Amino acid sequence: MPWMYAGRRWVATRDLQLLRYPSESAVACPVTDGCYLSVYWMTAGRYEEHMRWTVGINKRLNRDGRVFQQRTHVFTAFQDHETTVYRDGATGPRDFHALDHPYAGLVLQVIDAESPEARAGLLEWLRTRHLPGRLAGSPAAMVTVFHPTPLPGDRMTYVKQVEGVDVRLTLLWFLEADPRDCWESHFAGLGEAVAEVGLGRVELVAPFIPTVPGTDLYVAELR
């Protein structure tokens, strides 16, 4: 699509779905909903142009019967980049390389601040204190942080409007290891860490592994 310069698709097999938390999630209900995650990087400053193109092309594809309707959109959103925190400082791939670099896993984390006014404080705590400490010595090379933006009013009707746009932060942890191999040691306690500082609530922590394009690998492991 125009102005999207990188993308990658990820999958959560049933065993990965069962690692997700919290059980009562404002994002996925039940928390095991959603098997695939597609992530795209958009060129800065081209959001409006891309949005107009994608709304138009999806309407045309829908009329042509080329839209796969047998699916549920669990968490679909355009998001603005807030910050990226790196484990290894200036060495290694940058965030704009992240969807081309062969990372072995991805963890999606969604946090809602206590109020719109509190989101800036939550972001600052994540950027300066929480994420640097969590990344040190971990299998995650970087964490990118975004906040969601509202979808246009003329979006496709099967995609629900984004919730929590004024309080929510979305984190993507890019892993150099399979998330199953490091879940308990590095990711099982993210909800408690946020709750302890009283800045917000973790609404989803969900691990994924990359798909293999052009194959049906993992399809038999989704249920």
Q: In this structure, are residues 123 and 83 in contact, taking their beta carbons and an 8 Å threshold?
A: yes
CATH 3.30.70 corresponds to the domain 4-213+217-221? yes
Other C-beta atoms closer than 10 Å to the C-beta of 81 total 14
What does the alpha-carbon distance between residue 109 and residue 150 come to, in Å, rounded to a whole number? 19
Question: What is the tens place of the pLDDT at every residue in 56-104?
Answer: 888 888 888 887 777 788 998 899 999 999 999 999 999 999 999 999 9
Query: pLDDT tens across 176-220, in order?
Result: 999 999 999 999 999 999 999 999 999 999 999 999 999 999 999
Element (DSSP H or E) covering residue 40: strand 36-42
Q: What is the pTM of this model?
A: 0.93
In angstroms, rounded to a whole number, what is the distance separating the alpha carbons of residues 122 and 49? 31
So where are the chain's domains? 4-213+217-221
